Copies of this chain bind each other. A is one copy, B any other.
Amino acid sequence: MDDIARLAGVSKPTVSRALQDSPLVSDETKRKILEIARRHGYVVNRNAQNLRRRRSDTIAVVIDFPHLPENRLSDPFHFELLGNIANALSVRQQDVLLCSSLSAQAGGFEHLLSNKGVDGIIFMGQSGHHEEFRALAKAGVPFVVCGAHLEDANYCVVGSDNMLGGRLVAQHFSSLKRKRAMFLGPHGHIEIGQRHQGFAEEWGAAVEDLEVPDLSFIGARDAMRTRLDSGKPAPDALFAGSDTMALGALAALREHGVDVPTTCNVCGYDDSPLALHHSPALTTVRQDTRIAGAILVERLMQSMQGTSAPSILLPTDLIVRAT
């Protein structure tokens, strides 16, 4: 910057101001400085700028990447959401620092800001850190969580209405005059638990609960196989916690000659491409990641300005397709 200043015959502060388009610099001077800077390919050093400004215009997005290697991340859902968050942030001139949940946790979430040099954090999913989040909020760290709404959350959560999603599916099955409802999903996953709960409440009658070990296609297929082999009467309405699991269960049903949708209806969750591209196309519950991303970012900005950002429950839609 000193060089540019010399070349333009002005001082460093003037160059700095010109580059920020400050009104303190005359248009004449500004134009000259910008021209020289451009010609010499000068750009401000981001690290120096960050240090002095005590702000980096960078947001950490924390994802539970560990899943990946094993699970071959089942749902494109997260990627889509990530993309939408990135877009929403770039509109606000903010950069995205991607952190795996693990590396973020290393120094403790509360030091993430100065440790990674970011201004705020977006957590994708609680994944069991609820208590840490509560502490973070108390410490005044600006962050938002994209995940499940919990009773005692004192931090901002943006999440889709899992209960509503479950209820919509139950209503749908009811309108089809189905009788023997089953829910399929792993226990211990908060959001999926809420889907289950909404479903069961709305359904009223007994809902058979088929537990699966994880979120995978295989897990769901095998669990369903075992269940069908048992000889007990098969369900005529199946709600799976995710599209991937729905497809797994569907495979098992097909093997056993249970026709979908005549004999049994199946509904997934997420509206991932899997659902759309499958044949028959899967009936599912959709969450709008575009809106979610935009709101997450908006709320984060709020909480970075010190305003408290309220949580929000986003509506979900039932997408009725062929199953």
* Chain A residues within CB distance 8 Å of chain B: 41, 43-48, 50-51, 56, 58, 61, 65, 68-69, 72-74, 76, 78-80, 82-84, 86-87, 90, 95-100, 102-103, 107-108, 110-111, 114-117, 217, 244, 247-248, 250-251, 254, 273-274, 276-279, 290
Given contacts A47-B117, A80-B72, contact A277 B244 (CB under 8 A): yes
- Inter-chain CA distance A96–B98, complex, in Å, is 5
Which residues of the partner chain B approach A108 to less than 8 Å between Cβ atoms?
Answer: 41
13 A/B residue pairs, CB under 8 Å, sorted by A: A44-B115, A47-B51, A48-B51, A51-B51, A68-B80, A69-B83, A76-B79, A82-B98, A90-B100, A95-B103, A217-B273, A217-B277, A244-B273
Is B87's CB under 8 angstroms from A79's CB? no
Copy count, this protein chain: 2
- Inter-chain CA distance A41–B73, complex, in Å, is 35
Given contacts A97-B96, A254-B279, contact A65 B86 (CB under 8 A): yes
Given contacts A96-B98, A103-B90, contact A65 B51 (CB under 8 A): no
Q: Which residue of B lies closest to A217 (CB)?
A: B277
Is A43's CB under 8 angstroms from B80's CB? no
**5 further interface pairs, Cβ-Cβ under 8 Å (given A46-B117, A50-B50, A69-B84):** A50-B51, A65-B83, A73-B76, A79-B79, A247-B277
Is A73's CB under 8 angstroms from B65's CB? no
Q: Which residue of B lies closest to A139 (CB)?
A: B41
- Inter-chain CA distance A155–B74, complex, in Å, is 33
- Inter-chain CA distance A248–B47, complex, in Å, is 47
> How far apart are A13's CB and chain B's nearest CB, in angstroms?
19
> How far apart are A56's CB and chain B's nearest CB, in angstroms?
6
- Inter-chain CA distance A58–B96, complex, in Å, is 12
Is B98's CB under 8 angstroms from A86's CB? yes
- Inter-chain CA distance A48–B115, complex, in Å, is 11
Is B116's CB under 8 angstroms from A95's CB? yes
Given contacts A58-B97, A90-B100, A117-B45, contact A277 B290 (CB under 8 A): no
Which single member of B50, B73, B90, B278 contacts A277 (CB below 8 Å)?
B278
- Inter-chain CA distance A240–B69, complex, in Å, is 26
Is A117's CB under 8 angstroms from B50's CB? yes
- Inter-chain CA distance A74–B98, complex, in Å, is 22
> How far apart are A109's CB and chain B's nearest CB, in angstroms?
12
Is A74's CB under 8 angstroms from B273's CB? yes
> How far apart are A230's CB and chain B's nearest CB, in angstroms?
23
Given contacts A51-B48, A278-B278, contact A43 B111 (CB under 8 A): yes
- Inter-chain CA distance A276–B74, complex, in Å, is 11
- Inter-chain CA distance A46–B107, complex, in Å, is 13
> How far apart are A160's CB and chain B's nearest CB, in angstroms?
17
Q: Which residue of B lies closest to A118 (CB)?
A: B46
- Inter-chain CA distance A278–B274, complex, in Å, is 8
- Inter-chain CA distance A270–B290, complex, in Å, is 26
